[in-house]
Amino acid sequence: MEQEIKTLQKWIDESDNIVFFGGAGCSTESGIPDFRSVDGLYNQTYDYPPETILSHSFLGKHPDIFYQFHREKLVCPDARPNAAHLKLAELEQAGKLRAVITQNIDGLHQMAGSKKVLELHGTIHRAYCARCGKHFPEDYIHYGEGVPRCECGGVVRPDVVLYEEGLDEHIMQESLDYINQADILIVGGTSLVVYPAAGLLRYYNGKKLVLINKDATPYDAKADLIIHGPIGQVLGQIKV
């Protein structure tokens, strides 16, 4: 891994147009489990798989179970940014990194100090009424019992993209633009099998596609540099 890190360091030293695209693996080192991973817990305690519970129709039909899951599994008040989040914020501060594009909804990049964060799947740190659109503070949905409701009677929901829902077109377009114009694209902590991850990579035109992931991904053959390791451990070694 040492030689790969040296190469990555050299590329980073020479660039002021780095874009990072990250997935669930960025947050696991902060203690936030990836609900898609096999050993990742969520199995067994619920009668439905996570992908079902976190869907648009399920929230409509069973808001009580949705909120039980939300409070038990998605709200992680103790999670703190790890070495990957911190390094990315540092790289942005140094004028080297242009944007972080993330599939995570935990807000840890912002907590680490990153300013330009494009959240493809929204964030659990915002909430709104599904009926009238009124905004609510996040605590309104994170704590307490039962289903949080608006004065209008509508269910208040987290501002995340659920299964069966489309991505925000503006955020998607902005992400594509950053990737399209990037000198270095670092992809970390994602297996690149979940929509829209793999599709986004096709917009990259550069010659420095870096994949940092614990396991192999379907994109390894297309990468210019592959580092197999935990993202925090890898980026933690980079000097800004």
Q: Residues in the site for Zn ion, rule: CB under 5 A?
A: 129, 131-132, 134, 150, 152, 154
Strand order in the sheet with 122-129: 135-136, 122-129, 156-160
Shortest approach of Zn ion to residue 3 CB, angstroms? 56
Residue 133, phi-psi category: left (phi > 0), alpha (psi -120 to 50), beta (remainder): left
Q: Measured from the CB atom, is 134 or 222 closer to Zn ion?
A: 134
Is residue 121 part of the annotated active site? The answer reads: yes
Nearer Cβ to Zn ion, position 129 or 179?
129
* Shortest distance (Å) from residue 155 CB to Zn ion: 9
The closest alpha carbon to 53, from 70, 38, 41, belongs to 70
User: Measured from the CB atom, is 78 or 151 closer to Zn ion?
Assistant: 151
The residues, ordered by sequence, that sit 6+ positions from 170 with a Cβ below 8 Å of its Cβ are none
Cβ atoms of residues 87 and 193 within 8 Å: no
Residue 163 beta carbon to Zn ion: minimum distance, rounded to whole angstroms: 23
Looking at 121, 125, 142, 170, which residue is catalytic? Answer: 121
The answer to whether 178 and 99 are in contact (CB under 8 A) is yes
Catalytic residue numbers, as ranges = 121
